[in-house]
Amino acid sequence: MIEIIDLHKSFDSQKVLNGVNLKIADKEVITIMGKSGCGKSVLIKHIIGLLMPDRGSVLIDGVDITRLDLKELDKMREKLGVLFQGGALFDSLTVYGNVAFPLSEKTKLSKSGIQDRVIQALEDVGLKGMEKKYPAELSGGMKKRVALARALITEPSIVLFDEPTTGLDPIITSSIHVLIKTTHEKYGYTGVVISHEVPEIFEITDRVAMLHNGVIVEVGIPEEIQNSSNPAVRQFITGSHEGPIEV
């Protein structure tokens, strides 16, 4: 379970998070939506421990990660898989090298054991046979799928998706959504998805949270969010340029 309590973060004089509170249950998939630059990625970076808050806590399985030392934090990070916005694949490694990387560095699995897992992970994301390609030779959608395979290779209990479909066409976007759904069913992880893809994202998520002005203004199942009377939520869902969200 992930619990975010009264999280505050500023960069110089700019307040980004202004008291975020959110509980994420085990094995649920929650989507955090909000306008670009509202602090969604900053929030996810607090869950990974890449950023430390000015005030507040992030509890993962009851442990406040903002109070851990580097060694304890690394131990906690082993529970996480992260799909970064641009994929964050290592340019110098092949697809195989990228997906195998967490296993070869963090486990004592044999070469053949790693190979079996990597082949399976690539098959799961529909990229079997692409092992020898380099990231530069892949399309945007393929990069995201390789990144997803890498995020899932260690079978983490929590997977964070930072805008997994940004910059992709609707067909590839839909295929990534299907992949999130199928891999969630297969691995049973807790998923936190940052996405703007409304209403498509509602089909794969258990709950949706809306981040606005540095706080979570509404949380609920997709139907509740779609019928919400909150002006910010309504404006975001309808894509209107008039409302409390400043363009």
Partner 1 sequence: MERLLKIIGSWTLSRLRTMGHMFLFLANSLYFIFVPPFKFNLLLRQIRFFGNKSMLVILLTGSFTGMVLALQLFYILRKFGSEALLGPGIALSLTRELGPVLSALMVTGRAGSALTAEIGMMRISEQIDALTAMALNPIRYLIVPNIVAAIIVFPLLTAIFDVIGIYGGYMVGVKILGISSGTYFSLMEDYVDMEDIMVGLYKSLSFGLIVSWVCCYKGFYTGYGAEGVSKSTTEAVVMSSILILVWDYFLGSILL
11 binds partner 1 (CB under 8 A): no
Q: How far apart are CA 15 and CA 69, in angstroms?
A: 26
Q: Which is nearer to partner 1, 91 or 185 (CB)?
A: 91
To partner 1, the closest distance from the beta carbon of 88 in angstroms equals: 4
- Residue 75 has which token pair? 């131990």
User: What is the C-alpha radius of gyration for the chain, rounded to an integer number of angstroms?
Assistant: 18
90 binds partner 1 (CB under 8 A): yes
Identified binder of partner 1 from the candidate list 88, 109, 215, 219, rule CB under 8 A: 88
Q: What is the DSSP letter of 169?
A: -
To partner 1, the closest distance from the beta carbon of 92 in angstroms equals: 8
Identified binder of partner 1 from the candidate list 23, 45, 133, 196, rule CB under 8 A: 45
Q: How far apart are CA 106 and CA 75, in angstroms?
A: 11
Planar angle of CA 109, 114, 117, nearest 5 degrees = 125
What is the footprint of partner 1 within residues 49-78 (CB under 8 A)? 49-50, 74-75, 77-78
Span interacting with partner 1, options 55-63, 87-95, 176-184, 211-219, rule CB under 8 A? 87-95
The helix (run of H) or strand (run of E) holding residue 235 is: helix 231-238
Q: Which is nearer to partner 1, 81 or 214 (CB)?
A: 81
Q: Which is nearer to partner 1, 162 or 218 (CB)?
A: 162
Q: Are 193 and 41 in contact (CB under 8 A)?
A: no
What is the footprint of partner 1 within residues 96-125 (CB under 8 A)? 101-102, 105-106
To partner 1, the closest distance from the beta carbon of 3 in angstroms equals: 20
Q: Which is nearer to partner 1, 136 or 171 (CB)?
A: 136
Q: How far apart are CA 95 and CA 155, in angstroms?
A: 18
Q: How far apart are CA 87 and CA 190, in angstroms?
A: 20
Q: Are 148 and 175 in contact (CB under 8 A)?
A: no
Q: Are 99 and 121 in contact (CB under 8 A)?
A: yes
Count of residues engaged in binding partner 1, rule: CB under 8 A: 21
Q: Which is nearer to partner 1, 101 or 226 (CB)?
A: 101
The amino acid that residue 63 corresponds to is V
Which residue ranges make up the site for partner 1 (CB under 8 A)? 45, 48-50, 74-75, 77-78, 80, 82, 84-86, 88-91, 101-102, 105-106
